[in-house]
Amino acid sequence: MPHVILLHAAFAFMTKKERYAFVLDYFRKAIPDPETELQYTNPYELLVAVILSAQCTDKRVNLVTPSLFKKYPTVEDLATASPEEIFSLIRSISYPNNKAKHLAGMARKLVNEFGGEVPATIEELVTLPGVGRKTANVVLNIAFGHPTIAVDTHVFRVSNRTGLAKGDTVEVVEQKLKKVIPSEVKRHAHHWLILHGRYVCKARNPNCAECVIADLCPSHILQR
């Protein structure tokens, strides 16, 4: 208990910059090598998995992709499939009709316009069916090692709750995070915030008792 009191007192005198440093240092030590929970073996499989993960859990996506990749192991194979054929393999995913059309269109465009290779720029990625800025940033981060910060529902929630980057839109939150997070940890920060939101700072019933940064969190302080 004395240790907790001392920590709380120290937090009260921290500057905003020091608080950011404390939060990022905590994540760096707690999760030194964060990775996506989506299962994939190459950029093509990752792109497919990320498209399927929109408004769907990674766990559900990982249950569906093995049979999908077995039937369509390459983007060229997927480009020959109709949306109806793809739908039959992803029917348990959220919004399967739209995602089947997106995957079919994405594969054909990759083959016809990019030589079957997943592009490594956000400008090119967002021209693909089913690929918005968030999906593009995830692919750039994981497949190509770019220091991008993709703002999904978890990142948006954690950023606003903790005050790390408050904003009404994902675009505003993304730009603020890019400003406050040092370049050397930007790539990991995306995963840190997702994992924290998925397992600790949940949408319902956040587990503040297990959160090391709770005393820095405006939402938690207001609830006490």
Q: Minimal CA–CA distance to 100: which of 129, 120, 126, 128?
A: 129
Q: In this predicted model, which residue has the larger pLDDT, 137 or 4?
A: 137
- pLDDT-based confidence at residue 4 (cuts at 50, 70, 90): very low
- Give the whole-angstrom CA distance, residue 223 versus residue 197: 18
pLDDT tens-digit series, residues 170-220: 999 999 998 888 888 888 998 999 999 989 999 888 888 888 888 777 776
- pLDDT-based confidence at residue 13 (cuts at 50, 70, 90): low
- pLDDT higher than 90, residue 45: yes
**First-to-final CA distance of the chain:** 17
Q: What's the sign of the alpha-carbon dihedral 62, 64, 65, 67?
A: positive
In the prediction, which pLDDT does 222 show?
Answer: 53
Q: Is 163 left (phi over 0), alpha (psi -120 to 50) or beta?
A: left
- Give the whole-angstrom CA distance, residue 191 versus residue 152: 11
- DSSP 8-state secondary structure symbol assigned to residue 119: P
pLDDT tens-digit series, residues 149-175: 989 899 999 999 888 889 999 999 999
Q: Is 206 helix (H, G, I), strand (E, B) or coil?
A: coil
- Give the whole-angstrom CA distance, residue 51 versus residue 38: 11
Contact at 8 Å (CB) between 136 and 50? no
Rg of the chain on CA atoms, in Å = 19
In the prediction, which pLDDT does 144 show?
Answer: 95
The structure's pTM equals 0.85
User: Secondary structure of 1-64 in the HEC alphabet?
Assistant: CHHHHHHHHHHHCCCHHHHHHHHHHHHHHHCCCCCCCCCCCCHHHHHHHHHHHCCCCHHHHHHH
Q: What's the sign of the alpha-carbon dihedral 24, 22, 198, 32?
A: positive
Which sequence positions are flagged as catalytic? Answer: 134, 152
